[in-house]
């Protein structure tokens, strides 16, 4: 690209914008649209990881163990330390998933028991109603056909009403038991809240693992950024270590806390930095666009401080 072409400071990594490593000058910055597509794909992948937790947990743990088995020449001490930390984090997530699975099985058994109780109570109520109908019909027939004395008629009516009163009391008792069994208790609501929080925690846990470890292994790329040809770079040239990626993930949380305004900042920021880039001192570059070499050449042709001093110019 020639110097005569129109220069847009929001499209390129420039020395005026950042305190950057010279090797990064002239790299094209990723547009907001491509970044949105990449993060959308990442969110879909995290959702898939959460729904297939056991499979991906085993795969992730196996990958970390494979890295730890390498010789010291292939993996540095710091890298091994981060890998052990990743293994610990994955083990914690696996334990949480196991506890959730056991809780789900217990709750499923409880629900089945309550449903069986409901069915039994409904059956008992239906039988009792049939008995009442039969007793009432018998009482009416007996009353209409009675030709005995007033005393015999009264005694007969009393005897016929006893089964009806007994069945009515039984129905009332069964209906009370059914109402109590179907009543949502405070414990059930508490269990639902805890289950929701646990599920949310598992999703956030997978997001932390995803955005902290994957860019570390893929040199600043998540799956979404790899597909769309983007890469996250630290402006001073530092490697994308898990701790740096974790601080950048904290920027995602800050963006959600601001109602998404922190993410929209990329639309008007002169350096196309969203809130997570500001926090981690990073930029997202587009690997599919050509580099602007004149910015790098201009920086390399600038006189150094010692040269300026020798020429008598102001430092």
Helix (H, G, I), strand (E, B) or coil at 6: coil
291 sits in the region (left: phi over 0; alpha: psi -120 to 50; else beta) called beta
Query: What phi and psi values does residue 197 have, to the nearest 5 degrees?
Result: -65, -40
Tell which wins on pLDDT, 23 or 130. Answer: 23
Q: Please name which of 11, 97, 27, 26 lies closest in space to residue 56, comparing C-alpha atoms.
A: 97
- The Cα–Cα gap between 213 and 64 comes to 10
Domain finish residue from 125, 156, 185 = 185
- Has residue 17 been placed in a domain? no
Helix (H, G, I), strand (E, B) or coil at 286: strand
pLDDT tens, position by position, 274-285:
898 988 889 999
Residue 312 has a pLDDT of 45
pLDDT tens, position by position, 46-87:
877 766 655 556 666 666 666 555 544 555 666 667 667 766
**Which residues span the domain enclosing 122?**
99-185
pLDDT tens, position by position, 174-191:
777 666 666 555 545 556
Q: Which residues pair with 232 in a beta bridge?
A: 284
Q: Report the percentage of the chain scoring pLDDT > 90.
A: 4
- The Cα–Cα gap between 243 and 139 comes to 85
Q: Quote the strand ranges of the chain, DSSP E.
A: 230-234, 282-286
Q: Please name which of 43, 19, 14 lies closest in space to residue 223, comparing C-alpha atoms.
A: 43
Domain finish residue from 156, 185, 214 = 185
- Has residue 308 been placed in a domain? no
DSSP per position, 223-270:
HHHHHTTEEEEETT-----HHHHHHHHHHHHHHHHTTTHHHHGGGT-T
Residue 44 has a pLDDT of 82
Give yes or no: residues 115 and 71 share one domain.
no
Residue 270 has a pLDDT of 79
* 92: pLDDT strictly greater than 90: no
- Has residue 311 been placed in a domain? no
Give the distance, in angstroms, between the CA of residue 284 and the centroid of all CA atoms in the same chain. 24
How many domains does the chain divide into?
2
Contacts for 231 with CB less than 8 Å, ≥ 6 apart = 219, 220, 221, 225, 284, 285, 287
């Amino acid at each position: 690209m020639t110097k005569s072409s129109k220069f847009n400071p929001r499209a390129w990594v420039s020395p005026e914008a950042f305190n950057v490593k010279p090797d990064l000058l002239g790299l094209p910055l990723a547009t907001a649209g491509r970044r949105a597509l990449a993060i959308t794909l990442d969110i879909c992948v995290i959702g898939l990881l959460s729904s297939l937790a056991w499979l991906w947990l085993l795969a992730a743990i196996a990958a970390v163990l494979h890295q730890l088995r390498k010789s010291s020449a292939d993996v540095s001490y710091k890298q091994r330390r981060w890998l052990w930390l990743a293994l610990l984090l994955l083990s914690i997530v696996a334990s949480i998933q196991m506890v959730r699975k056991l809780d789900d099985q217990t709750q499923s058994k409880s629900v089945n028991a309550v449903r069986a109780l409901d069915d039994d109570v409904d059956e008992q109520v239906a039988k009792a109603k049939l008995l009442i109908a039969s007793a009432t019909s018998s009482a009416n027939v007996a009353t209409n056909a009675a030709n005995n004395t007033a005393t015999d008629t009264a005694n007969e009516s009393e005897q016929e009403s006893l089964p009806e009163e007994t069945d009515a009391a039984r129905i009332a008792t069964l209906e009370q038991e059914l109402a109590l069994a179907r009543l949502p208790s405070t414990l059930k609501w508490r269990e639902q809240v805890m289950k929701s929080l646990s599920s949310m925690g598992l999703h956030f846990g997978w997001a932390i693992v995803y955005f902290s470890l994957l860019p570390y292994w893929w040199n600043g790329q998540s799956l979404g950024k790899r597909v769309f040809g983007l890469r996250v770079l630290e402006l001073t040239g530092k490697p994308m270590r898990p701790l740096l990626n974790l601080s950048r993930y904290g920027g995602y949380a800050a963006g959600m806390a601001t109602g998404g305004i922190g993410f929209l900042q990329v639309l008007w920021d002169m350096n196309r930095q969203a809130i997570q880039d500001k926090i981690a001192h990073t930029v997202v570059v587009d690997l599919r666009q050509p580099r602007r070499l004149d910015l790098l050449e201009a920086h390399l042709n600038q006189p150094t401080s010692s040269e300026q001093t020798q020429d008598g110019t102001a430092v």
